[in-house]
Each structure stands twice: as structure tokens, then as C-alpha cells.
């Protein structure tokens, strides 16, 4: 009997243990199931939060241009393909921001906007045309240098033969009057100098060495000063021999002291050939071929045929021209020809530089208008594509009218941001036109002023 009771008690204990184990397993399972459910809900919330964080709506142009272009942007756009892409996705559970962001991923033109933006920001609105050297190499009012200044050196023969009279006045007197009138007509930016030669000793053989060594600059290379220049003209008289070669060589040293970019011009006034055993042809050629690049013009005053031949060779070697005069009127005609030449040169300078500036201005303005049109058209193209897709989703009952309106509002906001950048192109166009207008007016004003100076009417 005791043995049976013991077995019965043992059986109950086993049943109790098994029952407890079963309960624990059930509890554990319930706990695991409940934990998984909690974890799943938390994960979904986290994922939803992450999705919301990833949608950043661009509110500035700088943000827009840093976006990636849509996979159907530009030439890749095809309405039917876009519709098929939209059909393959569900949008009924998405808000307006998610829908808008998805449409941008298909049709955003951001990378092309960036190209237009960089073009405008890097565009040089300045007129870069380099003005050619003016006939006397002046400066415009804004300080733009056009090849420095002109240096005009006059070499005057003071040999004894210049004391001969023509029409009641000596050659020297007539030459001085003509020279003074000529330099007085030079523009304010030009430098002039006066060098005499053969003004010492006499034209006798005994004084040849002294006279042939005599050449002196009596008016230093400077802007014209009426009283000082007149005083320099009165400081010598015709007396000696004719050292043309030495005078030209010494003038080369005068030019070497001034602006190396200047235009250097020499006018040699002589009534005869070299009489001091020098080689004026070689001297003129050396000067013209040097880095000074001076032009040597010769004015022969009442010169015989032999003298004309030599002086013509000197002018040709110096890259200049030879003119012969036999009277005071002839002398004035030489300067008159120079006046007409300068008038024509100024007319040509004005026309050529005006046209060059106008051409660059026109090219830059046209380029900006073209770029602006491309940019504007692109913004409307993108807006139309995005709007069409939004209405397609609405018509397919993928989104509600409320979501459609909100997406349309976001599209309009983006377009307005882009449209504001058109003002940048307008600013550039205005800048180019203003600078071009100002520079053209300066060219015209300078040209007109100088033509008036040389107009003899």
C-alpha cells in the first residue's frame, strides 16, 4: 500500500513539472512574439522617419543646381516612358512631398541648370578689344594706353646756304616759320624736339672740322611750349657745313632716352646734300632698323637734282618720304599734306576701333541672350513635364486632387526660384551694353576732337 502511494505522488510531481515547463515555454513564446511585434512596429516607424528626413525640398537656386538630374531629363524624356514608370509604382499612400520628390528623380534638369549658372557666373562682361595705336598714339579719357606717345624730332639744316633768300626771306626764316606752325598744330600728347646741325664755325674749309662736328638739340623732347620753342628757334643762325649723318645718329640717342613703345618720327629739313663726309643713307637705315624703329622723312628746300637724289635715298633707307619745296608756300604744303594725312588717319582709327568694340559688344550680348533663352526654355520645359506627370497620376487616381494641388504648388515654387535667375543675365547684358556704349562714345569723341584739330575748313 505504501509503495502504491509513493508511485502516485511521484506521478503527480512529474505532471507538475511538465505542466510548469509547458507554461514557461508558452510564456517565452508569447514574450518572443510580443517582442517581435514591438520591434517590427519600431522599425517601421524608424524607416518612415528616415524616409521623411531624406526628402529635402530645395528652396534656393544653389540647392537646385546641386541635385542630380532625373533619369528622363533632357533628350531622354519621353512621355510614354514616364507614364509607364509611374504605372509601375504606387503613390496612393504617399504624401505630396514624396510624390514631388519622385517626379524630380525622373525629370529634374538640375545638372543642366548648373551649366547655365556657371556660364553666367564666369562670364566676362568687360569689353576686351585692344584699341589700336592712335595716329599720334594718344590716351583715351579712361586712361587706356594705346601705344604710348609720339616723338617728333625735327632736324634743321643750319649750314651757310640756308642764308640764301627766297621771296625776300632767307630759307632759314621760311623754314623756322613753317616748323613753328607745324609743331604748334601737334596734339597735346605728342613730344617734339628740335635739333640743328652745321650751326657753328663757317662754311669755309678752315672751319669744316668744327662745323661738321656741330649738332645740338636746342629744344629737348617734350610737349610743345610755344614761348620756349620760339626761343629755341631764335638761338642759332645759318653758318656752316651740312653734317646730316651725324645729326641723324645723335637723334637716335635722343629717342633711346624716352618711352621705348613710342612712335618715333624724324623730319630732316635740308637745302643740300651731306658735306661732311658722313653717310646719311646708312645712318637713316641703322636708325629705322633699330629697336627704336624711327621713320626718317626728308624735306628738301630748294635742292638741286643731285641733292634730291641723295636725300631721296636717305628717306627711302629711313622708311619715310621725300618732299621737295622751292618756296614758302611749298613748305606749307608739306605740312598741309601731313595735316590731311593725320585727319584721314584719325578718321580711319575712329571707324576701325568703333567697329571692333561694337562687334565684340554685339557678340557678347547675343551670346548672353541666347544663353538666357536656353535657360528660360529649360525651366518651362521642366515645369511642363513635372506638371503633366502630376496630372497623369491624378487622372489615374493614383493621387487625390489635394495632393495634386500641393505637388503643383511645389512645382510652381521651383519654377519661380529658377525664373528669378534670369535677372542675372539681364545684369550681364546691361553691363556689356553700358561699357560698349561708353567706350564707343570715347572713341567717337576723341576722333571728332582730333579731326576738328586737323580740319582746315
- The 10s digit of each residue's pLDDT in 198-249 is 999 998 999 999 999 999 999 998 888 889 999 999 999 999 999 999 999 9
352 pLDDT band, cuts 50/70/90, is very high
Closest CA to 232 of 160, 183, 284: 183
Name the nearest CA neighbour of 106 among 74, 67, 65, 73. 73
What's the confidence (pLDDT) of residue 203?
A: 84
Which pLDDT does position 337 carry in this prediction?
79
Q: What is the side-by-side strand order in the sheet with 319-325?
A: 215-223, 191-197, 150-157, 263-270, 295-301, 319-325
Query: For residue 21, is pLDDT > 80?
Result: no
Whether residue 233 contacts residue 180, with contact meaning beta carbons closer than 8 Å, is answered with yes
Q: Which stretch of 64-73, 217-226, 421-430 has the lowest confidence by average pLDDT?
A: 217-226
More confident residue, 48 or 282: 282
Sequence-separated (6 or more) residues with CB below 8 Å from residue 132: 146, 349, 352, 353
Pull the grid cell for residue 100.
514631388
β-strands 169-170, 165-166 pairing: antiparallel
CA distance 420 to 416: 6
Residue of 307 and 32 predicted with greater confidence? 307
**pLDDT at res. 223:** 86
Q: Which range (133-142, 260-269, 286-295, 312-321) has the least confidence?
A: 133-142
Measure the CA dihedral 237/240/244/247, to 10°. -60
Per-residue pLDDT at 137 exceeds 50: no
Give the residue, 150 or 118, on which the prediction is more confident.
118
pTM over 0.95: no
Amino acid at each position: 500500500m505504501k509503495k502504491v502511494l509513493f508511485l502516485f505522488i511521484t506521478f503527480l510531481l512529474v505532471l507538475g513539472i511538465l505542466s510548469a515547463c509547458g507554461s514557461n515555454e508558452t510564456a517565452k513564446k508569447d514574450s518572443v512574439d510580443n517582442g517581435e511585434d514591438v520591434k517590427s512596429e519600431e522599425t517601421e516607424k524608424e524607416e518612415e522617419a528616415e524616409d521623411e528626413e531624406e526628402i529635402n525640398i530645395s528652396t534656393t537656386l544653389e540647392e537646385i543646381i546641386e541635385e542630380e538630374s532625373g533619369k528622363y531629363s533632357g533628350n531622354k524624356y519621353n512621355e510614354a516612358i514616364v507614364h509607364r514608370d509611374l504605372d509601375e509604382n504606387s503613390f496612393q499612400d504617399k504624401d505630396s512631398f514624396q510624390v514631388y520628390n519622385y517626379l524630380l528623380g525622373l525629370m529634374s534638369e538640375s545638372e543642366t541648370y548648373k551649366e547655365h549658372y556657371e556660364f553666367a557666373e564666369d562670364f566676362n562682361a568687360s569689353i576686351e578689344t585692344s584699341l589700336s595705336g592712335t595716329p599720334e598714339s594718344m590716351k583715351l579719357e579712361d586712361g587706356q594706353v594705346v601705344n604710348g606717345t609720339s616723338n617728333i624730332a625735327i632736324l634743321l639744316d643750319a649750314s651757310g646756304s640756308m642764308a640764301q633768300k627766297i621771296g625776300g626771306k632767307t630759307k632759314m626764316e621760311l623754314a623756322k616759320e613753317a616748323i613753328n606752325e607745324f609743331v604748334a598744330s601737334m596734339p597735346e600728347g605728342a613730344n617734339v624736339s628740335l635739333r640743328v646741325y652745321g650751326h657753328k664755325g663757317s662754311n669755309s674749309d678752315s672751319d669744316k672740322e668744327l662745323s661738321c662736328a656741330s649738332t645740338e638739340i636746342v629744344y629737348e623732347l617734350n610737349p610743345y611750349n610755344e614761348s620756349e620753342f620760339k626761343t629755341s628757334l631764335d638761338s642759332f643762325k645759318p653758318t656752316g657745313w651740312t653734317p646730316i649723318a651725324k645729326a641723324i645718329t645723335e637723334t637716335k640717342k635722343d629717342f633711346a632716352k624716352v618711352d621705348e613703345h613710342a612712335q618715333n618720327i624724324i623730319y630732316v629739313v635740308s637745302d643740300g646734300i651731306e658735306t661732311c663726309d658722313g653717310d646719311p643713307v646708312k645712318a637713316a637705315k641703322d636708325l629705322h632698323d633699330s629697336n627704336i624703329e624711327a621713320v626718317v622723312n626728308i624735306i628738301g628746300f630748294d635742292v638741286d637734282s643731285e641733292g634730291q637724289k641723295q636725300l631721296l635715298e636717305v628717306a627711302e633707307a629711313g622708311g619715310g618720304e621725300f618732299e621737295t619745296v622751292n618756296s614758302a608756300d611749298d613748305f606749307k604744303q608739306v605740312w598741309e599734306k601731313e595735316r590731311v594725312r593725320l585727319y584721314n588717319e584719325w578718321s580711319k582709327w575712329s571707324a576701325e576701333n568703333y567697329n571692333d568694340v561694337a562687334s565684340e559688344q554685339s557678340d557678347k550680348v547675343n551670346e548672353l541672350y541666347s544663353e538666357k533663352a536656353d535657360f528660360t526654355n529649360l525651366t518651362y520645359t521642366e515645369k511642363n513635364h513635372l506638371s503633366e506627370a502630376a496630372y497623369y497620376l491624378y487622372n489615374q487616381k493614383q493621387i487625390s486632387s489635394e495632393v495634386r494641388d500641393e505637388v503643383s504648388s511645389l512645382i510652381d515654387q521651383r519654377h519661380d526660384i529658377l525664373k528669378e535667375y534670369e535677372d542675372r543675365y539681364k545684369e550681364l547684358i546691361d553691363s556689356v551694353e553700358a561699357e560698349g556704349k561708353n567706350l564707343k562714345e570715347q572713341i567717337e569723341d576723341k576722333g571728332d576732337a582730333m579731326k576738328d584739330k586737323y580740319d582746315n575748313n
